[in-house]
Amino acid sequence: MPKGKVTKAIFPVAGLGTRFLPATKAIPKETLTLVDRPLIQYAVDEALASGIEQLIFITARGKTNLEDYFDRSPELERTLALAGKKDLLRIVENCTLDSGAVTYVRQNQALGLGHAIACARHLIQDEPFAVILPDDVISASTPCLQQMIAVHANTGGSVIAAMEVPPAQSGAYGILDVAGVAGRVAQVRAIVEKPRPEQAPSNLAVIGRYILDPSIFDHLAGLQASAGGEIQLTDAIAGLVAAGSPVHAYRFKGDRFDCGSKAGFLQATVSFALARSELREEFGAYLNSMVALQNAAQ
Ligand code: UTP
């Protein structure tokens, strides 16, 4: 089976981000700031560090500041250069993406993640491709997507990032039924979107990183809205499995933060701030004082 090199990544950023209203009325969720960088920058950094060459953003009305963020900023760059602020200039320049490496596709209605991916069909030839959901931020010594690409080089087919979750949380995830577990890799037998705990086939949940076989587009094409009234990527992956196309789950090494939820975003903020040498001491001392206050109040 041809395995194919993974050189393209799709970043779906066209959702409405309703869990962060009112902020997301005017600010794309994917540009909300984790310490000092927008969520989407973490996703792009992971892709580039994993060898991705072409970045495809599925965007929407009201998200143009995300496009501007990755573009040159001549006035700002000139001002920083004139002021001799070389470090800041480098930071600004480093988030500019090469024009030839980026494509923006508009999803004109937020019909769901599956529909968002289907919008990029014309940009993917007969090759496997990656999908990164920017609201799943993963801190790992080897980038999660890079780990998955290494697995894909052995397995071919499709590879889905997975992690164990408490059974009570199964209703928030796509849950996998797996067989043939070998270390961190297992064959997927079935996938169910947001099952109730008693109906979940396992505690292995799908996380927002995928390497997909291009035949997924045939399965996406015929889909109707399902769970939550949205066209679900999960249903197309179930179609791949049913058609006998190999799909593997990979339990990645790293810490995942659900930055699509407020609690997860705050946890990520604390964790990423404490990982920064210039913030650790001051911020750590503040957190300790908060904990001491809380304990004293109990
Ligand atoms: P989410 O379901 O987490 O994002 O989709 P959402 O719908 O924007 O957020 P809530 O639930 O209303 O708060 C995961 C990713 O898929 C994108 C989102 O932008 C997010 O990055 N997405 C979702 C699309 O691009 N299009 C869609 O139709 C739906």
Task: Output the DSSP codes for 46-78.
Answer: HHHHTT--EEEEEE-TT-HHHHHHTS--HHHHH
Atom of ligand 1 nearest to the CA of 135: 21
- What is the Cα–Cα distance from 57 to 10, expressed in whole angstroms? 6
CA-nearest residue for atom 23, ligand 1, is 15
pLDDT for residue 3:
62
Residue nearest to atom 22 of ligand 1 (CA): 15
Query: Would the CB of 115 count as within 6 Å of ligand 1?
Result: yes
* Phi, psi values for residue 297, rounded to 5°: -75, -15
Using a pLDDT cut of 70, give the percent of the chain over it: 99
Amino acid 218 reads D
Is 272's pLDDT higher than 60? yes
Q: Is 110 in the pocket of ligand 1 (CB under 6 A)?
A: yes
Residue 171: what pLDDT? 92
| Cα 142 to Cα 149: distance, rounded to the nearest angstrom | 11
- Stretch (H or E) spanning 176: strand 174-182
Any idea what DSSP says for residue 253?
S
Q: Is the CB of residue 28 below 6 angstroms from any atom belonging to ligand 1?
A: no
Mean pLDDT value across residues 99-104: 94
Q: How confident is the model at residue 298 (pLDDT cuts 50, 70, 90)?
A: confident
Could you report the per-residue pLDDT of 180-226, keeping only the tens digit for each? 888 999 999 999 988 999 999 999 999 999 999 999 999 999 888 88
| Closest C-alpha among 200, 136, 209, 153 to residue 174 | 200
How far, in Å, CA of 143 to CA of 48, rounded? 10
- What are the two backbone dihedrals, phi and then psi, of residue 91, each rounded to the nearest 5 degrees? -60, -45
Specify the DSSP element, H or E, that contains 283. helix 277-297
Could you identify the atom of ligand 1 that is nearest to the CA of residue 28?
19
| Ligand 1 in reach of 111 Cβ (< 6 A) | yes
Contact indicator for 225, 106 with CB cutoff of 8 Å: no
Angle at 212 between CA 206 and CA 213, to 5 degrees: 140
User: Domain spans of the chain?
Assistant: 8-260
SS3 290: helix
Question: Taking the domain 8-260, which CATH number applies?
Answer: 3.90.550.10
Residue 125 has pLDDT above 90, yes or no: no
C-alpha span between 231 and 256 (Å, rounded): 25
CB count within 10 Å of CB 184 equals 14
Position 94: which residue type? N
Pocket perturbation via mutation, ligand 1, pick of 135, 258, 265 by most ligand atoms within 8 A of CB? 135
- Residue 2 pLDDT grade (very low, low, confident, very high; cuts 50, 70, 90): very low
- Closest residue by Cα to atom 3, ligand 1, is 260
Query: 237 near 158, Cβ under 8 Å?
Result: yes
Burial class, 74, CB count within 10 angstroms (exposed 0-12 / middle 13-18 / buried 19+): exposed
Cα 34 to Cα 51: distance, rounded to the nearest angstrom: 24
* CA 281 to ligand 1 centroid distance, Å: 35
**Whole-number average pLDDT of the chain:** 94
pLDDT category of residue 252 using cuts at 50, 70 and 90: very high
pLDDT band at residue 229 using 50, 70 and 90 as cut-offs: confident
